[in-house]
Chains A and B, each alone.
Chain A
Amino acid sequence: MGKAFKYGDNVDTDVIIPARHLNTSEPSELAKFCMEDIDKDFVKNVKSGDVIVAGENFGCGSSREHAPIAIKASGVCCVIASSFARIFYRNSFNIGLPIFESKEASSAIQMGDEVSVDFETGEITNITRGEKYKAQPLPEFMRAIIDADGLINYIKKNIK
């Protein structure tokens, strides 16, 4: 459970983690600059368990895995958006950042709302407004990767 940070459509990877900070791949370093070019107070205000909520095409742009890594390392527990850019989508699963597609939740949740997400069912509860929304359930194949705790462990099991 945590507070929602709300953004609009087409939040791109250049604002999530600007290229000038890509001379490192350390999660804790990256987290210091997370969302810097769209919300310079984000890093100051974010707490463990908080949620990012956004509109269409979240994470568009570069393939930098640094983007979901920075978000995860900042303490955010999941991202909810109307839709995700495809590379960001697969990167998030691969590194173990849960993401949920829900147009309903994306439009209803406002900045600062208290939100909780059931990762099993995809049910999103807005505590501030007393509302519930449904996110798309995860495809089976994704579940397999998530259940193995990310692609690395999934492969590790199969590499032997």
Chain B
Amino acid sequence: MGMTMTQKILAKHAGVESVTPGQFIEVELDMVLGNDITAPVAIKEFEKMGATDVFDKSKVSIVPDHFTPNKDIKTAQQCKFIRDFSMAKGIENYFEIGEVGIEHALLPEKGLVVAGDVVIGADSHTCTYGALGAFSTGVGSTDMAAGMATGKAWFKVPSAIKFNVTGSFQKWVSGKDVILHIIGMIGVDGALYKSMEFSGEGIKNLSMDDRFTIANMAIEAGAKNGIFPVDEQTVEYIREHSKREYVAYEADGDAEYDEVYDIDLSSIRPTVAFPHLPENTRTIDEVGDITIDQVVIGSCTNGRISDLRAAAEVLKGRKVKKGVRVIIFPATQSIYLQAMKEGLMEIFINAGAIISPPTCGPCLGGHMGVLAEGERCVATTNRNFVGRMGHVESEVYLASPAVAAASAVAGKIAGPEDLE
């Protein structure tokens, strides 16, 4: 029986010829990631384990991005704890706030993940790097601790769902709409324990940023990972950001899939996920009249340069509706800088938005834009669970940067086509 792309990467890293779904394997890791919420727990476990050194100083990344710049004393303590550990162990990829960014935008940008890698991260959106043709998945802090100590992790080999992508986008439609459409179709547990493998001639019409957004939300369908084939765009991205060797894996022609879905990009409309699950999707044509209090544009899902460009294209020469608060949070320092060079920040400020430093901040209701009781927010983030961005009675609507920006101007959920 043939193997899927994911299975091939896992087999190689387990040092075996082939694997089958359901098999338990132990694999060699190319990168182990943690952040300021999960790494403190992992470090304590690492110490309990009796480990002294990390398995490879260049293969551990520690990124303080959730509550940074430190929002209160407790978080300052946590950040100090992981900083001290990183210094003591000589961890090469520890990023202080002047060079930091949201982990899942930062690692690819720093060239720390390339095609063919196996990556675990103590953060559920670690699945983002599937865009690069890597196997990457979220784990907990104990797995991170074990990974740091041994360079290995255990996995149950997943089966896969295939998404056969054709066509190209209509104006104002992007990767976010594709993944919301898919989650709406298969549900938040539609891919539970499985891989989501994307292929087909339409892949070339998805930019790397679109692919990052799509892979980022694979976990929102319950998937173990999402993965894209390696093409010219991938190679160009890797060459631009990394000096490391990459390996391009391909699914076997006779690989088996639990299900196959056809996704025609040209038929996808701007899509919004209503509270309180990412599967509660409606197209922009079906949203009705939903007035809003806040808009956030950024995060590991949609805080990349093309996202900011899309938002700026909508906001240029327009004003945010009075009474709506708009927060833009670029995902990394270099995206921030690029946006400045392109004049996007000026557009945002002139429109009446505020710009936050690169941080997870509002995405998890941490700081920098927490919601009050009864407030509604349109967010380009990836989760709209109860209380996710603040008060348990607040509401989050997930959308693309273009829709979020248009909603900011309209004062209610709207697409760019709805603006004058």
Contact = CB atoms under 8 A, between A and B. Distances in A.
Nearest to B25: A141
Interface residues of B, number: 52
A152 B192 contact: no
A158 B26 CA distance: 13
B385 A66 contact: no
A139 B24 contact: yes
A23 B364 CA distance: 12
B150 A155 contact: yes
A80 B285 CA distance: 40
A113 interface: no
A86 B38 contact: no
A155 B146 CA distance: 7
A134 interface: no
Interface in B173-214: 188-189, 192-193
User: In the complex, which of the residues B40, B122, B126, B189 has the most CB atoms of chain A within 10 Å of its own CB atom?
Assistant: B189
B222 A60 contact: yes
A38 B386 contact: yes
Interface in A16-54: 18-20, 22-25, 37-38
Interface in A46-101: 56-57, 60-66, 68-69, 83, 85-87, 90-91, 94-95
A85 B192 contact: yes
Contacts of A61: 124, 383, 385
Contact of A14 (B66, B140, B386): B386
Given A60-B188, A64-B37, A152-B45, A95 B142 contact: yes
Nearest to A23: B74
A141 B149 CA distance: 20
Given A37-B387, A91-B142, A155-B49, A22 B189 contact: no
B72 interface: yes
B72 A23 contact: yes
Nearest to A57: B189
Contact of B140 (A23, A65, A158): A65
Given A62-B364, A158-B150, 7 more contacts: A15-B386, A25-B44, A65-B122, A65-B140, A90-B140, A95-B140, A141-B156
22 contacts: A12-B385, A14-B383, A14-B385, A18-B365, A19-B37, A19-B365, A20-B366, A22-B37, A24-B74, A24-B78, A37-B386, A56-B189, A63-B123, A64-B140, A91-B139, A91-B141, A91-B142, A95-B140, A151-B142, A152-B142, A159-B51, A159-B149
